[in-house]
Structure 1
Amino acid sequence: MLRNDGNEGMSTIPGFSQIQFEGFCRFINEGLREEFHKFPKIEDTDQEIEFNLFVERYQLVEPLIKERDAVYESITYSSELYVPAGLIWKTGRDMQEQTVFIGNIPLMNSLGTSIVNGIYRIVINQILQSPGIYYRSELDHNGISVYTSTIISDWGGRSELEIDRKARIWARVSRKQKISILVLSSAMGLNLREILDNVCYPEIFLSFLNDKEKKKIGSKENAILEFYQQFACVGGDPVFSESLCKELQKKFFQQRCELGRIGRRNINRRLNLDIPQNNTFLLPRDVLAAVDHLIGMKFGMGTLDDMNHLKNKRIRSIADLLQDQFGLALVRLENAVRGTICGAIRHKLIPTPQNLVTSTSLTTTYESFFGLHPLSQVLDRTNPLTQIVHGRKLSYLGPGGLTGRTASFRIRDIHPSHYGRICPIDTSEGINVGLIGSLAIHVRIGRWGSIESPFYEISERSKEAQMVYLSPNRDEYYMVAAGNSLALNRGIQEEQVVPARYRQEFLTIAWEQIHFRSIFPFQYFSIGASLIPFIEHNDANRALMSSNMQRQAVPLSRSERCIVGTGLERQTALDSGVSAIAEHEGKIIYTDTHKIILSSNGYAPTTISIPLVIYQRSNKNTCMHQKPQVLRDKCIKKGQILADGAATFGGELALGKNVLVAYMPWEGYNFEDAVLVSERLVYEDIFTSFHIRKYEIQTHVTSQGPEKITKEIPHLEAHLLRNLDRNGVVMLGSWVETGDILIGKLTPQTANESSYAPEDRLLRAILGIQVSTAKETSLKLPIGGRGRVIDVRWIQKKGGSNYNPEMIRVYISQKREIKVGDKVAGRHGNKGIISKILPRQDMPYLQDGTPVDMVFNPLGVPSRMNVGQIFECSLGLAGDLLKRHYRIAPFDERYEQEASRKLVFSELYEASKQTKNPWVFEPEYPGKSRIFDGRTGHPFEQPVLIGKSYILKLIHQVDDKIHGRSSGHYALVTQQPLRGRAKQGGQRVGEMEVWALEGFGVAHILQEMLTYKSDHIRARQEVLGATITGGRVPNPEDAPESFRLLVRELRSLALELNHFLVSEKNFQITRKEA
């Protein structure tokens, strides 16, 4: 029995978007002020005028536009930044102060994202090598260890100190150039006596001090010249000057040696120094201390650094990225103000602060950052899980980071310090595997950019368990038990020996030696992996696929929560922001599909109208829709759910459907992961989803006049224009098919006689009929775009110039039932393609007559080792019969052996007793049952595993991928069909395909593929006429166009290539011209 002492063992999972919110708040509250304080006083060349920003009084104005309007009008949801500025005339001691507009700063919304140009964008976290000093050892070509120390600056620049076989110490400032440590120390301002007095091993320095070295360090000027000659790779004998000294100071000591606050802290800690934190540059004292540690490494003292340990990494969050961009914008503003002041003085104009400051610097800097930076990505809004997981990604890629082709396996691999901080399961597949990770659900980002994870401290002095956040450099000194709050509660003393982690090793330790323990079974996983029930019974590769495929699930028209879950479904749905939540308590006085009106019961009773999201398109073309869940005249509390969003039900995440599945072969239709489904899923809209596509067109002002939106379009058939209103725009509610006109548009063109078609010129010459001088450029519905028009929006950009055209957007909704070719998947990496849809009467049925909904291949389980789907399947059947829902924490085998199996069998046995169906649990083959063939009525030979599984419909759908080509465009050079579905292209027949056709001896099919259907111009023109008239299809005798292209390219290399035809009758040789 678990003993609960008050709130002991209780913890709250932090908000899943909290990391993004905290980062943006830190930028607004601290980052802006830090960068503003760096803004200097600006003076003109004569030092008569001085420009200042009074940064303590900056103001951010609340935006006037709403988020939803910013999306529809394609503008940025931002706040205007105002700062008081002063202009001081030093000659007259006069000052003019005005409030100037600096620019717009994009704001973060309640989802942790930003809206830039109408697009939801999110800034993901980057993980970088932390600035500081690191010691490592490598073997040279003789097998001898070479010790080096690497100093990493704040921006990622690297300098190295190394000690060679002769105990000489070198500083390597670039890959090729290295100098003596004595020269570097002298160039930094130390003489020989100061160097020897401040090191622990002066005899090593004296051992390689020869006459040549003494000359180099005889004076600071000589040392600077030697260092400059090596650093800048300058030949000859440079002459010492102040400019040379300033250049060296700027390029090396201020750029390469800037450590930043984090680097200063790390170097102080590593080298046992006490240099103040505000001194962020590399000092001679740092270099000498680093050399002492390096010599100690040579003699076996000290420990080497693990570069992949998380204590040597730092997180570059949205706060750091936005602050860097703000500092860059202020530098640009400074240059612009300085240039404007000098120009005004030169032209004898009187400047004012508002005339000097322009908002272009800040606005364009942030627009280019959100639009071009690799860490600023378009928010994936396929379903609620996708958008909340996107903000918790970690990337090793990006500026200052790694690349997918140069990252080693050691960096991609799981490290013991990732425990409880970075999910070992959730990563991308492909070239970026291990480089794109996901944060564990409990972590937070510390002040110094470290990933901190919570643990409960076990103390004999305190009776209450205290939760402590540990950074990676702290927890390796403690013994951390890998149990959760139930099995390791102090009330349970049976477990005297527990698994624990200590100094990157996983050990089994006595309970009395434990310092900390985990707080939650899901502490080590990301959100996606935490939603997989029985994840401990799955292979890690399949769990990885499952966590990725859950983000590809399409919201269904009627959501259904899972029978078997993990307990995180509710918080995931709440933190995603797709549901409408009551912000005040009160009473519902009105509700419909568009809004909910609430009467609050505060000190001042008010009426609050809550608008609902109705058929809103996501950037993955899925449908975001909210359904009211409250009734009129009902009282609600603060935080209660008012309306469910897409893929949520009752406030819980609901990505799929609970369907009856059987694991058995069926006539080969589930071979190789194919799935056989019942037509019930189609007729009852079980897996039906809505998809919304956006089509847009712009009207420009051309040199011949403005383009015109109209219904009066000549030369078009009437049925193509049937859905247009009198303005030439498609009507709401219209059903449109492929090729229909959505927006009728005419573009004026020059009335040039040669531009008319021959029949137009004939009409003008004979009848004098004036032919239209406008070209038809209407918006047509492309292939595969049939559906119902649900919205039409006219967007007029401000100004109305050629660069701000009028835009019309048409939104079309498609209803997609499940069909052959669609991809479905479970939550255990068991994915497949629909191969056949069977009538209900032909599907296998249970002993109570219930037909099965899906048939999976049983061979997909043993080799993939994702046994968790078997537990979920059987427990789901019991839950369906008992009308129960289960929330199972992972790793329940820590309580007793075979805990999962015992739970499933006990629930099946209880379901069998309550429903009086003995086939639900048969002791001879528990979990299996004898089922019958729907076609014959005979039972199958072997008992079959049946149950209720939670199946997802993924966004990889056949409607988006099916493609065929009969005729289309050809490439201009090769005359071969284009490539791709969007261009109505063909399918390439490559070298291996030709081999396959040759192997089957289908010579005529092969000839058609390479000539008629490809690039034989004359043959493909004649074959159409021959097909229509019923004549004989001509034989392509000359070479195709691609061969002729090859001949021409060889001729450009002065190589002549000819080909000949040999007659079958008289073997006459005929030369053909290419």
Structure 2
Amino acid sequence: FGLHPLSQVLDRTNPLTQIVHGRKLSYLGPGGLTGRTASFRIRDIHPSHYGRICPIDTSEGINVGLIGSLAIHAKIGVQEEQVAPARYRQEFLTIAWERVHLRSIFPFQYFSIGASLIPFIEHNDANRALMSSNMQRQAVPLSRFEKCIVGTGLERQVALDSGVPAIAEHEGKIIYTDIDKIILSGNGDTLRIPLVRYQRSNKNTCMHQKIQLRRGKCIKKGQVLADGAATVGGELALGKNVLVAYMPWEGYNFEDAVLISERPERITNEIPHLEAHLLRNLDKNGIVMLGSWVETGDILVGKLTPQMAKESSYAPEDRLLRAVLGIQVSTSKETFIDVRWIQKKGGSYYNPERICVYILQKREIKVGDKVAERHGNKGIISKILPRQDMPYLQDGRPVDMVFNPLGVPSRMNVGQIFECSLGLAGGLLDRHYRIAPFDERYEQEASRKLVFSELYEASKQTANPWVFEPEYLGKSKIFDGRTGDPFEQPVIIGKPYILKLIHQVDDKIHGRSSGHYALVTQQPLRGRAKQGGQRVGEMEVWALEGARQEVLGTTIIGGTIPKPEDAPESFRLLIRELRSLALELNHFLVSEKNFQITRKEA
């Protein structure tokens, strides 16, 4: 079974990936097609796909249209099911399945699970929606995730169907909780529910369940007992709601690059490396309690600021490893999660026992990591700025990310702007929105009216007129964090939902000093797995020739640089083009020997 071409290991990157991977459809495999021989007619969308196969969710590249996904309400049936429920003239009937040609039951019914999680999908280009449904499956579970402010309403159902949260199978009362189990009492018996604790997935992400209810709580059947990775309160939560500005910033967000700020300071009463009596006056929020007697040197506010690791902060053995081997010693928190003792039969000196220790590492976002939204707009982190240097709003809040505005109009992603502005209103009003697709069938321009009405209400309730300014709807004047001066043009401010993807720079960075070469061409091998490098191919030689490489080589070996005897051909071409405009032009070369001017006819 495992050797069959259509047999795949379940992808467990996040809860969405687990449920989507089992609903894929393929033309490939034994007796099927190949990516190179399939025609456009086979790959194209057919009317019979309505409600059965998603017209958006497919692979990118050579297999586009050949690997599809089941629509959200579709299931694989057999012909023995002779009857099927259907609606005809506003009445529900049970008729023979051959007579049913079309069933319209739900606004999401023609989309797959991944595509149905994109808000305002009807305002996006289909190519970008395809990218988004693929990239949501690449999102890594975060250590501190949030529910999306703007969603579609299917986040809870997707999380429950994925099996990641722990669900109560019957009603009862919690009589015991632990880090690895929950014990329920109900209907005269006791039920033990084991919890997943720091398990490693096949994509090296962490699967962990956290208890949501306390001991003694009465629960109902189907209630969420423990959240899993990337779920909050039983809802899918793949990312974070981030304050974003769409504006260019010193070229650091050129070509889809993303500018982000450092992690904010955290107010807490858990300060490391301090004795308990120094924190006696702080409340649970880390702020000094009213009425406390304080003296000189006492701590009034407990504040943790993340520090960048300096060379002096490493232990001596770590500095030695960095100096000799160039090994980067991580400063992130690491935890032992599993130890396995592999004992072989008939162990000897040449066949020793082996102990495998698995370590959980907490990776912070850094330059080179890939982030994306739910509308197909993806980018690489190009620079991490201090919060005081980021652009800030009129209420003093600095933005967390700066996106390039040129990535929106050419890609026709209007839904991206709708989500951004509606997220800002929801963040100010403390609301969550669930947007069904194709809401224009109820009212013309319903999406735009909803966004503007929520922004107007947010500006009134928070007494911030800059949230909704009639001169430039959805935009606001913001200020440069370095100088304090306002920017010339108003920019779009919002709170979209940002995902961190599994394409991380720690897994991709690679260097080579020497290694294996190809037998035929004697050039370095290709790829990180083979310790390969970048070869000097045909086009690279052209680049070296165009960059006057012979001048550099002559300089290195100490030779004389050849002097040009005449003007370059590109200059002669310019002279001829100007002569075609009836301009009489000649050029002159100055000889270095006698400084005599020699007239050359072009």
Distance 1:866 1:723 in 2: 52
Decide which moves more: 950-959 or 748-757.
Answer: 748-757
Decide which moves more: 819-828 or 498-507.
Answer: 498-507
Distance 1:810 1:731, change over 3 A: farther
Distance 1:1025 1:859, change over 3 A: closer
Distance 1:405 1:383 in 2: 31
1:746 and 1:774 in contact (8 A); partners too: no
Distance 2:298 2:580 in 1: 48
- Following superposition, the deviation at residue 615 of structure 1 comes to 1.4
- Following superposition, the deviation at residue 422 of structure 1 comes to 0.4
- Following superposition, the deviation at residue 562 of structure 1 comes to 0.2
1:416 and 1:504 in contact (8 A); partners too: no
SS at match of 2:258: strand
- Following superposition, the deviation at residue 775 of structure 1 comes to 35
Q: What is the match of residue 436 of structure 2?
A: 889
Q: What is the match of residue 754 of structure 1?
A: 312
Identity of aligned residues (%): 91
- Following superposition, the deviation at residue 978 of structure 1 comes to 4.0
2:115 and 2:130 in contact (8 A); partners too: yes
2:123 and 2:414 in contact (8 A); partners too: yes
Distance 2:363 2:405 in 1: 29
Distance 1:506 1:968, change over 3 A: farther
Distance 1:877 1:597, change over 3 A: same
Distance 2:521 2:89 in 1: 63
- C-alpha RMSD of matched pairs (Å): 15.8
Q: What do residues 28-80 of structure 1 show as CA deviations (whole Å, max 9, x unaligned)?
A: xxxxxxxxxxxxxxxxxxxxxxxxxxxxxxxxxxxxxxxxxxxxxxxxxxxxx
Distance 1:708 1:875 in 2: 27
- Following superposition, the deviation at residue 633 of structure 1 comes to 1.4
Structural mapping, 1:846-861, within 5 Å = 846-861=393-408
Distance 1:761 1:561 in 2: 41
1:589 and 1:632 in contact (8 A); partners too: yes
Distance 1:1067 1:889, change over 3 A: same
Distance 1:825 1:764 in 2: 33
Q: What do residues 14-36 of structure 1 show as CA deviations (whole Å, max 9, x unaligned)?
A: xxxxxxxxxxxxxxxxxxxxxxx
Distance 1:1064 1:845, change over 3 A: closer
The reply on whether 1:420 has 2:54 as its aligned counterpart is: no
Distance 1:977 1:922, change over 3 A: same
- Following superposition, the deviation at residue 642 of structure 1 comes to 1.0
Distance 1:773 1:388, change over 3 A: closer
- Following superposition, the deviation at residue 804 of structure 1 comes to 12
- The TM-score with structure 2 as length reference comes to 0.73
- Following superposition, the deviation at residue 1039 of structure 1 comes to 34
Between structure 1 and structure 2, the one with the greater Rg is 1
- Following superposition, the deviation at residue 965 of structure 1 comes to 2.1
- The TM-score with structure 1 as length reference comes to 0.42
- Following superposition, the deviation at residue 527 of structure 1 comes to 0.2
- Following superposition, the deviation at residue 768 of structure 1 comes to 39
1:792 and 1:808 in contact (8 A); partners too: yes
Q: What do residues 575-633 of structure 1 show as CA deviations (whole Å, max 9, x unaligned)?
A: 1111111123222222232222222343xxxx333221111111111111111111121
Distance 2:552 2:61 in 1: 45
Q: What do residues 287-334 of structure 1 show as CA deviations (whole Å, max 9, x unaligned)?
A: xxxxxxxxxxxxxxxxxxxxxxxxxxxxxxxxxxxxxxxxxxxxxxxx
- Following superposition, the deviation at residue 731 of structure 1 comes to 43
Distance 1:1043 1:915, change over 3 A: closer
Decide which moves more: 593-602 or 529-538.
Answer: 593-602
Which has more helix, going by share of residues?
Answer: 1
The reply on whether 1:395 has 2:26 as its aligned counterpart is: yes
Decide which moves more: 506-515 or 656-665.
Answer: 506-515
Distance 1:813 1:568 in 2: 31
1:798 and 1:804 in contact (8 A); partners too: no
Distance 1:763 1:594, change over 3 A: closer
Distance 2:455 2:265 in 1: 70
- Following superposition, the deviation at residue 751 of structure 1 comes to 48
Distance 1:610 1:932 in 2: 53
SS at match of 1:444: coil
Q: What do residues 328-381 of structure 1 show as CA deviations (whole Å, max 9, x unaligned)?
A: xxxxxxxxxxxxxxxxxxxxxxxxxxxxxxxxxxxxxxxxxx221111011111
Distance 2:565 2:275 in 1: 41
Q: What do residues 630-653 of structure 1 show as CA deviations (whole Å, max 9, x unaligned)?
A: 112111122111111111111000
Distance 1:771 1:808 in 2: 22
2:334 and 2:360 in contact (8 A); partners too: no
Q: What is the match of residue 865 of structure 1?
A: 412
Distance 1:600 1:744, change over 3 A: closer
Distance 1:770 1:584 in 2: 50
1:748 and 1:773 in contact (8 A); partners too: no
Structural mapping, 1:57-456, within 5 Å = 370-446=1-77
Distance 1:719 1:829, change over 3 A: farther
2:459 and 2:466 in contact (8 A); partners too: yes
2:333 and 2:362 in contact (8 A); partners too: no
Distance 2:447 2:332 in 1: 73
Distance 1:440 1:1022, change over 3 A: closer
Distance 2:311 2:488 in 1: 81
Distance 1:806 1:709, change over 3 A: farther
SS at match of 2:549: helix
Q: What do residues 65-100 of structure 1 show as CA deviations (whole Å, max 9, x unaligned)?
A: xxxxxxxxxxxxxxxxxxxxxxxxxxxxxxxxxxxx
SS at match of 2:440: helix
Q: What do residues 930-952 of structure 1 show as CA deviations (whole Å, max 9, x unaligned)?
A: 11111111111111100100000
2:459 and 2:468 in contact (8 A); partners too: yes
Distance 1:667 1:770 in 2: 30
Distance 2:560 2:294 in 1: 41
Distance 1:857 1:796 in 2: 55
Distance 2:342 2:308 in 1: 28
Distance 1:498 1:404, change over 3 A: closer
Distance 1:956 1:772, change over 3 A: closer
Distance 1:848 1:1041, change over 3 A: closer
- Following superposition, the deviation at residue 569 of structure 1 comes to 0.5
1:427 and 1:438 in contact (8 A); partners too: yes
Q: What do residues 177-227 of structure 1 show as CA deviations (whole Å, max 9, x unaligned)?
A: xxxxxxxxxxxxxxxxxxxxxxxxxxxxxxxxxxxxxxxxxxxxxxxxxxx
The reply on whether 1:911 has 2:458 as its aligned counterpart is: yes
Q: What is the match of residue 498 of structure 1?
A: 84
Aligned residues: 598
- Following superposition, the deviation at residue 854 of structure 1 comes to 0.6
2:231 and 2:237 in contact (8 A); partners too: yes
Distance 2:166 2:535 in 1: 50
Select the residue among 519, 523, 540 that pairs with 2:126: 540
Distance 2:33 2:584 in 1: 48
1:559 and 1:654 in contact (8 A); partners too: yes
Decide which moves more: 976-985 or 406-415.
Answer: 976-985
Distance 2:331 2:100 in 1: 87
Distance 1:1027 1:724, change over 3 A: farther
Select the residue among 533, 558, 572 that pairs with 2:158: 572
1:746 and 1:776 in contact (8 A); partners too: no
1:559 and 1:656 in contact (8 A); partners too: yes
1:498 and 1:510 in contact (8 A); partners too: yes
SS at match of 2:109: helix
Say which structure, 1 or 2, has more relative contact order (CA 8 Å, 6+ apart): 2
Distance 1:708 1:806 in 2: 46
- Following superposition, the deviation at residue 966 of structure 1 comes to 2.7
Distance 1:1043 1:709 in 2: 66
Select the residue among 512, 524, 530 that pairs with 2:116: 530
Distance 2:304 2:345 in 1: 23
- Following superposition, the deviation at residue 955 of structure 1 comes to 0.6
- Following superposition, the deviation at residue 742 of structure 1 comes to 45
- Following superposition, the deviation at residue 1048 of structure 1 comes to 49
2:391 and 2:480 in contact (8 A); partners too: yes
Structure 2: runs of 5+ lacking an equivalent: none
- Following superposition, the deviation at residue 740 of structure 1 comes to 43
1:748 and 1:774 in contact (8 A); partners too: no
Distance 1:834 1:515, change over 3 A: closer
SS at match of 1:893: helix
1:746 and 1:775 in contact (8 A); partners too: no
- Following superposition, the deviation at residue 886 of structure 1 comes to 0.6
Q: What do residues 955-994 of structure 1 show as CA deviations (whole Å, max 9, x unaligned)?
A: 1111111112234455677665443323433221211112
1:823 and 1:834 in contact (8 A); partners too: yes
Q: What is the match of residue 678 of structure 1?
A: 261
SS at match of 1:437: strand
- Following superposition, the deviation at residue 798 of structure 1 comes to 8.4
